[in-house]
Amino acid sequence: MSDTYTVERSTTIDAPPAVVFEQIADFRRWTAWSPWEAGDPTLSRTYTGPASGAGSTYAWSGNRRSGRGRMTIVDTTEPSHVHIDLLFEKPFRSRNEIRFLIAP
């Protein structure tokens, strides 16, 4: 059994690619749209690095459902691509690569 896997999802958003890109490339904006943000009202968030784009980091710590981890934007191509390194520390250790591909 392979220790790697791929999950792909897609959706249609009625907005220009630049607007969608801004929502993804700035972790501070994720509270408005990420379904994981609503799971823990006491979630602790820390933002470091630039406000958006490569090097921007978002760390969180919360309840059992939210766990603890960190996301770092590795690379962006405005307005079409955001590459994120996702590290879960709790409730289990895992490292994932996330790529948002934005197309008109």
The 10s digit of each residue's pLDDT in 19-66 is 999 999 999 999 999 887 777 888 899 999 999 999 999 999 988 888
Count CA atoms closer than 13 A to 83's CA, side-chain side: 5
Tokens standing for residue 64: 């059992």
Cα 56 to Cα 9: distance, rounded to the nearest angstrom? 24
pLDDT at residue 41 in the model: 83
pLDDT at residue 37 in the model: 79
pLDDT at residue 4 in the model: 84
The 10s digit of each residue's pLDDT in 57-98 is 999 998 888 899 999 999 999 999 999 999 999 998 999 999
